[in-house]
Amino acid sequence: MAQFISDRREIDFLLHEVLDAESLSKKHEPFAEFNRKTIDLIVSEARNLAVKEILPTQKEGDQQGCTLENGKVTVPESFKRVFQIFNEGEWLAMTEDPEWGGQGMPRTVTSPAMEYFNGANYPFMMYPGLTHGAGKLIHEFGTDEQKRLFLKNMYSGKWAGTMLLTEPGAGSDVGALTTSAKKNDDGTYSITGEKIFISGGEHDLTENIVHPVLARIEGAPEGTKGISLFLVPKFRVNDDGTLGEFNDVVCTGIEHKMGIHGNSTCSLALGSNGNCIGTLLGEENKGMKAMFLMMNEARLLVGYQGFSCATASYQYAINYAKQRVQGKNLLDMMNPEAKAVTIINHPDVRRQLMKMKVFVEGMRSILYYVNYCADMAVVAETEEERAKYQGLVEVLTPISKGYVTDRSFEVCSQGMQVYGGYGFIEEYPMAQLLRDCRITMIYEGTNGIQAMDLLGRKLGMNKGKPVMDLFGEMQKTLARAKKIESLTPYTEKIEKAFNKLGEVALHMGQTAMSEKVLNAFANAHPFQDATGDVILAWMLLWRGTIAAESLEKAKKKDKPFYEGLLKSLQFFVETHLPITMGNLIAVKNTSGAAIEIDDASFAG
């Protein structure tokens, strides 16, 4: 079953030949132990855990789902044992400070583990994933007392964590929330309100669940400027670390969803009986600033969730196409004695598999590269270098979430198509992968919001320096590729795409600050889509350059792999990049039709 999650050869190529992950151990003392041998061991252990323990729970989690009875949520039975094994392996806080129970790994090294675990069962992985994010908030903004009481218990998986933002009637508009906080004489706050769509908001995996909650202190300004962040545990925690009384956080319902059935998506009532107590996390009225730390990390996690569905779908589709016998070879159609062949021999199936291959390889490269940039910001020797890599992370976050999950859903749909009618039947894995993947385009900020973030914030951030730094990195790859004659047909076309993107980005940035601002944002998502395509082309060129350089001296067993990378580059440049160029032209038109049409002209 291992092949149905991800390709180990591909992962090793990215880690060691593209990103040179081992070099991080030589640049930063806390990373010193993560040499190649250790990295490979971590990847192997993550793969074993994913395949042997987590993957078998995927289908049961989907079929069994979660149940609510008397305010208590029960998760699929198989999750409990796996959650224990996962925590015993100390996988929950891989990148965090060992002082608080973390492993201190570079984020680059954790990338394969995130891919394997989420590919095996990402609805299950939402429980430790959200716990890590909530713990990160406490680590960054908590008082010494809050860290002492909560952090180790969360990073060990003894307690879980969530993120309480969304409310009825205030979905993406967080500033419209109505949850209130009244300050008490002892410095705590009484919290009252309702939250919805809370992933892992209630469950029976842990003895306590710690909720970071956005609320408005009585008298605080309206909108996002008046929002504060509070720490609200399901059970109060005594000064000695033991659990106290129930904290009036009640699960009032769980959603019956299209996918991710194994994760409990809850409605929570806080303070219905006037007895919900929270402590301020960070500063008053600075809750959104703090929460964005978790949201940015969560958006990258969502990118991995969507991608994990895509890479699993691709692996299943390859295996199925190599085994499923149906129809004669096209060249033997008129031969009455010709036997049926496996469907991987049919040109249209090969096209579908090739499209899946190209996008899976490119998306994996984007996600791993963002983690690599985060590590480079840590090991940077100068403030300028640190700011450069942090800026790259910021610019690439909406691409990693928005573009990657859009493309991941397309890959899952393509995988279902390879299976034909069987792909539509729940007995096979493709239906669940497609259903589970769909939410990744919606939560943690819809992909339309990601596109608005890219256009409205990231393009002009720091006077455009992060975007220029990104183009600078692209140009480095282009210069290296130009030295290889066999890549010339691809480098020329990709260079034109780079230049066109720069031209369109400038136009969109200017339009967004003009009287045609609404036109610009009506085209923000197509702009994000085209930007992602060009970044993916860069990644494929980077990979293809290394493949071309390595091919002559490669061992016989590695030659097909490198040749496959070059075919991926060729396929994308010849079949998809022309579509991207057309999209860039369309985006530059900045059509105002969607803005100008009268509301009454929409049917309904």
User: Any idea which residues carry the catalytic annotation?
Assistant: 444
Distance CA 170, CA 168 (A): 6
Distance CA 518, CA 516 (A): 5
Distance CA 517, CA 535 (A): 25
| Residue 289 burial (CB count, 10 A) | 14
Query: What count of residues does the chain have?
Result: 604
Which amino acid does the sequence have at 208?
Answer: N
| Residue 124 burial (CB count, 10 A) | 26
Q: CB–CB of 519/595 below 8 Å?
A: yes
Tell me the pairing of strands 249-254 and 243-246.
unpaired
Rounded to 5 degrees, what are φ and ψ at 391?
-65, -40
Nearest alpha carbon to residue 417 among 327, 317, 307, 329:
317
Nearest alpha carbon to residue 541 among 570, 579, 562, 500:
570
- Three state DSSP letters for 273-320: CCCCEEEECCCCCCHHHHHHHHHHHHHHHHHHHHHHHHHHHHHHHHHH
Q: How far is CA 150 from CA 125, 237, 242, 244, 276, in A?
A: 20, 9, 11, 14, 18
Distance CA 106, CA 112 (A): 12
The strand ranges marked E within 356-456 are none
Q: How far is CA 360 from CA 6, 138, 311, 313, in A?
A: 10, 34, 6, 10
Token pair 């991710």: residue:
260
Tell me the pairing of strands 249-254 and 265-270.
antiparallel
Distance CA 350, CA 414 (A): 11
User: Tokens in use for 577?
Assistant: 């990049």
Q: Which helix (H) or strand (E) holds 368?
A: helix 347-379
Contacts of 384 (CB under 8 A, 6+ apart): none
